[in-house]
Amino acid sequence: MRLDRVQEIAAETEAEAFTPADGQVGASWRAVVAPGLVPERPISASALATLLGCPHRFLLQNILHLDEPAGRPSTDTIDARAYGSLFHAVAEAFFRAHGAAICSHEGTVEQWQARARQIAAKKFDEWRAEYPLRGEDSVARERQRLVRQVEQLVDIEWQKPRREFIATELSFGDPRAVELSVTGGTLYVAGQIDRVDRLRPAGLSVRDLKTGRVHDLGEEPLNAGRDLQIGLYTLALESPASSTEKVTHAAYVHPSAAQDPERSFEQSELKALRERTREWLGVARGLLAIGSFPRTPLASDCVYCPFRPACGEGAQEQSAAKLAAGPLSPELEAFVKLKEEGQGEDTGG
């Protein structure tokens, strides 16, 4: 890139009004088939969470497909993303084989915990061939962490009332995208739900497994950063293309012996989750429709972002000033309102 162009971009970033350097794509956006706006290109819950966390990160990551800088993984502990993938692989294997039996309370919890330990040990050994853990102590500690959390997951399942197991890693939007009516129009989505059960006497339970801590609604009120994912799964499962049944229970589950393992939604809380999720998805759809991807005004959204060096120091403050100065489109006004409500990014596995 020419030096004069670098200087132009720097000047655009520091300008008082939004410019292309701030993620305002402009007229060329009409040539882009934006994800979520057409059934041929549905959007996932994780991509939507990125978009509402920081639209500019979404532009770099999901539209321009820039890769995160390569880095050497920790050799003493398993990083959060890798551990989350490993734990989900163990949970999927266990529930595919034994979900129906444990949901109907066959056998004993001790028997199922023993079986879960076997699956966890096998998956861990397979995974160890690809992840560079160093030293016997590190290997033993991480193996025990996985086994302990899988045992806790089985205990959580056993303590629940009898129910009908439906699926683990239930796909939706494939091969045909799920069409959701949201604030401002239609959004097309696809993804996978960790767990779906049928409760008695009626109704579905949709759950997402988290390896990081979850907070109950009394500790952390309903917000887009935390609850967009489970809200989207609820709406997708209730869509005419997916099911004729209603969801009566939705939850994030964190297997833990030290705290309440669920952030759950039922009755009035579930109704509020549906309503707010449609609003949040409407904000996302609006940004996608006009091709506007400003940087987040909240520094908390950038803690785990790999693109922080590209934005530079003070990027959030500059974006906040431009958003406050206006005038803004209705779509950007809705985004600002969302941020003022305390939207943050969910980083749990």
pLDDT tens string, the chain, 349 residues long: the values are: 454 544 455 555 566 678 888 898 888 898 999 999 999 999 999 999 999 999 999 999 999 999 876 667 677 888 888 899 999 999 999 999 999 999 999 999 999 999 999 999 999 999 888 888 888 888 899 999 999 999 999 999 999 999 999 999 999 999 999 999 998 999 999 999 999 999 988 899 999 999 988 888 988 999 999 999 999 999 999 998 777 799 999 999 999 766 678 999 999 999 999 999 999 999 999 999 999 999 999 999 998 898 888 888 889 999 999 999 888 999 999 999 999 986 544 444 5
Three-class SS state of 14:
helix
* Euclidean distance between CA atoms 245 and 122, whole angstroms: 37
Q: Which domain holds residue 150?
A: 80-159
Residue 48 lies in a domain: no
Where is the domain boundary, 106, 126, 159?
159
160, 207 in Cβ contact below 8 A?
Answer: no
Q: State whether 63 and 136 are in the same domain.
A: no
Where is the domain boundary, 118, 144, 159?
159
Residue 349 lies in a domain: no
Q: State whether 144 and 233 are in the same domain.
A: no
- CB under 8 Å to 201, separation ≥6 — which residues? none
By CB atoms closer than 10 A (0-12, 13-18, 19+), residue 198 is middle
Best CA proximity match to 329, nearest among 295, 300, 289, 298: 289
pLDDT at 344: 46
Q: State whether 272 and 196 are in the same domain.
A: yes
Token digits of residue 264: 């759950």
- Preceding amide of 175 cis, omega within 30: yes
* CA angle (70, 75, 76) in 5-degree steps: 135
Neighbours of 171 (CB within 10 A): 11
Residue 72 lies in a domain: no
Residue 154 lies in a domain: yes
Bridge pairing between strands 204-209 and 191-198: antiparallel
Residue 124 lies in a domain: yes
C-alpha distance from residue 211 to each of 83, 85, 121, 346 (Å): 8, 9, 17, 12
Helix (H) or strand (E) holding 247: strand 247-253
Residue 43 lies in a domain: no
Token digits of residue 281: 């998805």
Token digits of residue 298: 């909240």
Token digits of residue 279: 């609003």
Q: State whether 154 and 85 are in the same domain.
A: yes
Residue 346 lies in a domain: no
pLDDT at 291: 95
**Count of structural domains within the chain:** 3
pLDDT at 304: 85
The DSSP letter of residue 186 is E
Where is the domain boundary, 279, 311, 327?
279
* Euclidean distance between CA atoms 197 and 214, whole angstroms: 21
Q: State whether 169 and 273 are in the same domain.
A: yes
Q: State whether 173 and 244 are in the same domain.
A: yes
Bridge pairing between strands 247-253 and 204-209: parallel
Q: State whether 251 and 194 are in the same domain.
A: yes
Q: State whether 186 and 154 are in the same domain.
A: no
180, 236 in Cβ contact below 8 A?
Answer: yes
Q: State whether 173 and 235 are in the same domain.
A: yes
* Euclidean distance between CA atoms 39 and 220, whole angstroms: 34
pLDDT at 258: 66
Q: State whether 228 and 275 are in the same domain.
A: yes
Q: State whether 222 and 247 are in the same domain.
A: yes
Residue 44 lies in a domain: no
Q: State whether 98 and 151 are in the same domain.
A: yes
